[in-house]
């Protein structure tokens, strides 16, 4: 499930590091990602499973998240969707934990492309 397309070194983050970043809006922490949802057909991040401050798990689409060095930034709390509303993603995606465990061997490009970290050593 790895892409042959090269990802720029400056635009990649280890998948395990993405799961250590808080999800913030305007400096306020809204939650923490606990898993990464990955398209079953293509090696691409679809979104994050975010454990929010109210202990609810919500889906954050990867395309609306701004991955920074110290946080995953969003523009609105309404981007954190109830999983019941996006059940489609649970069926069309797998999770990082199912594929790789902790993400130690995968990197995610700025566009969501997923590759082996061996290509970036």
Mean pLDDT of 23-49: 94
Using DSSP bridges, classify how beta strands 72-73 and 66-67 pair: parallel, antiparallel or unpaired.
antiparallel
* Burial 52-61, CB ≥16 within 10 A → b, else e: beeeeebbbb
Per DSSP, helices labelled H in the chain are 15-18, 87-92, 96-100
Say if residue 99's pLDDT is above 70: yes
Picking from 67, 64, 66, 52, the residue whose alpha carbon sits closest to that of residue 17 is 67
Using DSSP bridges, classify how beta strands 106-108 and 93-95 pair: parallel, antiparallel or unpaired.
unpaired
Using DSSP bridges, classify how beta strands 23-25 and 66-67 pair: parallel, antiparallel or unpaired.
unpaired
At a CB cut-off of 8 Å and minimum separation 6, what does 117 contact?
14, 104, 105, 106, 107
pLDDT in the model for residue 97 = 81
Quick check: pTM over 0.85?
A: no
Say if residue 20's pLDDT is above 70: yes
């Amino acid at each position: 499930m790895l892409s042959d397309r090269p990802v720029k070194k400056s635009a990649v983050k280890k998948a395990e590091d993405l799961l250590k970043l808080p999800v913030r809006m305007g400096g306020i922490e809204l939650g923490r990602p606990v898993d990464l949802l990955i398209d079953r057909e293509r090696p691409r991040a679809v979104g994050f499973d975010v454990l929010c401050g109210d202990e609810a798990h919500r889906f954050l689409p990867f395309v609306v998240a701004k991955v920074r060095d110290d946080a995953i930034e969003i523009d609105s709390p309404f981007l954190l969707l109830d999983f019941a509303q996006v059940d489609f993603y649970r069926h069309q995606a797998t999770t990082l934990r199912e594929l790789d465990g902790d993400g130690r061997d995968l990197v995610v490009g700025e566009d969501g492309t997923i590759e082996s970290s061996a290509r970036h050593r």
